[in-house]
Structure 1
Amino acid sequence: MGAAVADTAALPGEPVAVHETFALFHRTQTVPGALPGPVLKQARRCLIDLVGVAAAGSRTELAVLIAAHAATQFGAGTNPATILFDAGARKASPAGAALAGGMTIDAIDAHDGHPLTKGHAGCGLFPALLAIAETEAPDMPLDEFLAHLTIGYEIAIRCGIALHATAPDYHTSGAWVAVGVALSGALMTGANSEIVRHAAGIAEYHGPRSQMMRCIDHPTMLKDGSGWGAMAGVSALMLARSGFTGAPALTVEEAAVTGIWSDLGTRWRIMEQYLKPWPVCRWAQPAVEAALDLRSAHGVASDTIGRVRVRSFHEAIRLATARPADTEQAQYALPFPVAAALVHGRLGVAQISGEGLRDATVLDLAERVELSESAAFNDLFPAERWAEVELELTGGRVLASKPLTARGDADAPLSDAEISSKFHALMDEAGYGDRATRIEDMMMAGAATPATVSDLVACCSASS
């Protein structure tokens, strides 16, 4: 796999031991049957979830705009890649398809994440690695692709933890996803250790170190930078293969992060992933969970609620939008999704988009949601995200939840049935319900139903 590459100048110093570890890890874990059973199952769960979110995201204005941009500005050339669920069934270069795919998934904030990265690896990894595999190894067995995706998670998550440990600003996921894509993509295409090292260095230098809290305070289509990071990672790999040189990636090679990489292959970070029950920022989900618990336990009708009080950690309280103008603002909000959940008894894509944004009952209740910060919850963030909710009823009675985290964390995972239900609901809402069972069977069955990268691409094409 992979095209011939030009001679590449050596980076300063000798490649550190972690690069040798990458190569060994890749060789041992891509052998059929090598991944531990629970790890492979978790990769399948993450993949099916990402596909469902991509389908739902493709119906947003953000996705329509970015797909058109990728198709027109990132020329497909002689070896084009599919743009995920693009209504026009257009193609682009692998970097363009990675950009569009990452932003399409990010358009609906329902994808998986890792608490210590405060962000999302799969959102950028999946479309980037799929675009590379489609153009260079379309006959790759799906289980082999899953192994590469799993390795991508292990590398990208550690890149994210390392960046947060060494950089003072809170950067979007794209900053470290770029390095994860470059490294795992290089390994997947059989690049030598020198090219792997240059690809990581280029990706880290050019990855989008955008400030996450600016997007929290001013939600727009910028989102979490995942698509831009996916594009930067693919571009870094292609550049390194052509002879372009880069500086050492500090999130991989700096002495201060050695411990983060020391357990590669023994500690499976993908098992620490959360999968979301609701399509909004993870920081808002504990409050949504607490509100729904109170509604269910006490049979509360929304028209009997006078005020809602939410206590959570600082970053969650920054999600203060009560009257979102668009789906981006609705996803990076706390009062609005809490109110929508209390009114409708659920929180799906319909509640944070389209007519759901103009629901007068929800908007009225959202204006009566009061937010406050808890020092105790601040101390637990980011490893744990907590909230508690009080409902003050119009008659004066106060119903108080216990402190809660949202379901879907590693210690309270969504069941396979819940993930399946979420997947089918997302596919149905996106208009792809007729293929959902076929996709689910292919992804979850494994070797019993052999499939290839081409089969996966076909499932993620609007023209399938």
Structure 2
Amino acid sequence: MPNHLHAFADFLTQTKFDDIPEPAVKRAKLIIADCIAAIVGGSAEAENQALETSIMRHGCARILGGSNFSDAQSASLMNGTAGTALEMDEGHQFARGHPGMHVFPALLAASDTADAPVTGQEFLQSFILGYDIAARIGLATNLNPYMHPHGTWGVIGAASAIGVLNRLDRQKIIELINISSSFSLATSRKTMLEGGTVRNSYTGISNQMAHLAYQILQAGFSGEKDGIGSVFGNIVSSSFDTAAALDALGTRFEVTRNYFKLHACCRYNHAALDALWLLMEQYSELQNPENIAHIDVESYFLAAELTDPKPRNMLAARFSVPFAVATSLINRSSKIQSFTQDMLEKTKILDLAAKISIKENSDMSAQLPDYRPASICITMQDGSTYRASVKTNRGDWRDPYSEAALKEKYNSLTARRWSPAKRNALYTRILNLEHALDLKETFTL
């Protein structure tokens, strides 16, 4: 049996809550609050409300945002889909994806449908370990460049979290990992660039499939001998780096290397926007964007793909450097209010976006994954120029946002569906989650 399966199984079955360092527990609580905010905010989108109506089933798994419940698979699908709609969910730059949103919806549904009360410590332990497995598979995988990372390795993290919550033994955990490996989706990267909103469902389906993996395990189904090595070493990826996957397993918890977003768009935009904000804070001349002649951005190759100055819908706009820079300059904000459908109809934004170009800087690409640099040069009509550059992105562990800033983000997103009293009560409970005796009571407001 491959080393990674042995090691992952030992990690999942032997690591207890008291073994997890306090900084990892603290970070996990912030990630959970962030996931809740992204889901509730995304649930206000029209297509997600329509989906919620169409998939309603009898059950006790909560659908965040409103007051509806469904079965575990449907609730996982709904919450996971809503959580990616606004591009505000946290992520992990080494995994090149979003472990939190691939684990939290499935684990919440598993807690809601559990026969016995799930304590806060049990939930946190399951979440942190599932996140770790998801992130480690992601960082060890050389994913097909034509694939979108959503809906790929995340299902194994979610299934692992469900396995930990249900106290599966070592052999059952191994079998669950092997089964869930086969539930990776054939996701298309083009969906994000072309505004194919089916992309938002990839994460929801992944959470849904984690429950199916657990169900068919319980029914007696089996997987191949090494699902991770087969699927992520040969099929969706050209190789799987076992040494990278197991590096510091059990001592370095991957929740501590996550990043949070405040810019309401794809992470690949963020370096350019961080550099832009340095200029906006320093030069009052940029308060008059009509005086800009053109803007030139250089960044790493993933960011350099985001070139569309006239995206067809808001998903495509969130994956466009020209649009992101333009709407941030015009609105003097990069929050969710600058990335709404009506912004695509504003002539000022589209005219400015047409003046913005981005190209790859190979030296910046070479700094991945440790750093995600960008530089920006704004040339005014009078010939004057303003330049700024950044090496890393705000919100990661090197340059973290304050807890106050994360709370403000939580409030702004949850305000789309929840009253101040409801959102504040849940936030306080999440920050004290390790003391909760029953997760169902925690989320009952």
Q: SS at the partner of 1:285?
A: helix
CA distance in 1, matches of 2:336, 2:154: 25
In structure 2, which of residues 183, 192, 208 is the aligned counterpart of residue 206 of structure 1? 183
CA distance in 2, matches of 1:450, 1:66: 32
Q: SS at the partner of 2:278?
A: helix
Indicate if the aligned counterparts of 1:179 and 1:200 stay in contact, CA closer than 8 A.
Answer: yes
Residue 163 (structure 1) shift: 2.8
Q: Which residue of 1 aligns with 2:228?
A: 251
Indicate if the aligned counterparts of 1:125 and 1:149 stay in contact, CA closer than 8 A.
Answer: yes
In structure 2, which of residues 51, 56, 63 is the aligned counterpart of residue 83 of structure 1? 63
Q: SS at the partner of 1:115?
A: coil
Q: Which residue of 2 aligns with 1:61?
A: 46
Q: Which residue of 1 aligns with 2:165?
A: 188
Report the CA distance shift for 1:226/1:90 in structure 2 as closer, same or farther (over 3 A).
same
Identify unmatched segments of 5+ residues in structure 1.
Answer: 1-14, 459-463
Indicate if the aligned counterparts of 2:44 and 2:416 stay in contact, CA closer than 8 A.
Answer: no
Q: Which residue of 1 aligns with 2:267?
A: 282
Residue 28 (structure 1) shift: 4.7
Query: CA deviation digits over 1:107-150, x for unaligned, max 9?
Result: 11011111122111111200001101110156212232112111
CA distance in 2, matches of 1:415, 1:245: 45
| 1:34-433 aligned within 5 A | 34-71=19-56, 75-76=57-58, 79-85=59-65, 87=66, 89-137=67-115, 139-164=117-142, 170-212=147-189, 214-223=190-199, 225-251=202-228, 257-259=241-243, 260-299=245-284, 300-301=286-287, 302-433=289-420
Identify unmatched segments of 5+ residues in structure 2.
Answer: 234-238
CA distance in 2, matches of 1:249, 1:61: 41
CA distance in 2, matches of 1:168, 1:108: 23
Q: Higher mean Cα deviation, 202-211 or 98-107?
A: 202-211
Indicate if the aligned counterparts of 2:130 and 2:159 stay in contact, CA closer than 8 A.
Answer: no
Residue 431 (structure 1) shift: 4.2
Indicate if the aligned counterparts of 1:326 and 1:353 stay in contact, CA closer than 8 A.
Answer: no
CA RMSD of aligned residues (A): 2.3
Report the CA distance shift for 1:361/1:195 in structure 2 as closer, same or farther (over 3 A).
same
Residue 433 (structure 1) shift: 3.1
Indicate if the aligned counterparts of 2:88 and 2:263 stay in contact, CA closer than 8 A.
Answer: yes
Report the CA distance shift for 1:372/1:21 in structure 2 as closer, same or farther (over 3 A).
closer
CA distance in 1, matches of 2:309, 2:300: 18
Query: CA deviation digits over 1:400-437, x for unaligned, max 9?
Result: 11234320112111111111111112122444433222
Indicate if the aligned counterparts of 2:309 and 2:323 stay in contact, CA closer than 8 A.
Answer: yes
CA distance in 2, matches of 1:99, 1:249: 27
Aligned residues with identical type, % of pairs: 22
TM-score (normalizing by structure 1): 0.87
Report the CA distance shift for 1:274/1:445 in structure 2 as closer, same or farther (over 3 A).
same
CA distance in 2, matches of 1:268, 1:192: 22
CA distance in 2, matches of 1:414, 1:396: 35
CA distance in 1, matches of 2:429, 2:226: 37
Q: Quick one: which amino acid aligns to residue 452 of structure 1? A: D
Query: How many residue pairs end up in the alignment?
Result: 434
TM-score (normalizing by structure 2): 0.90
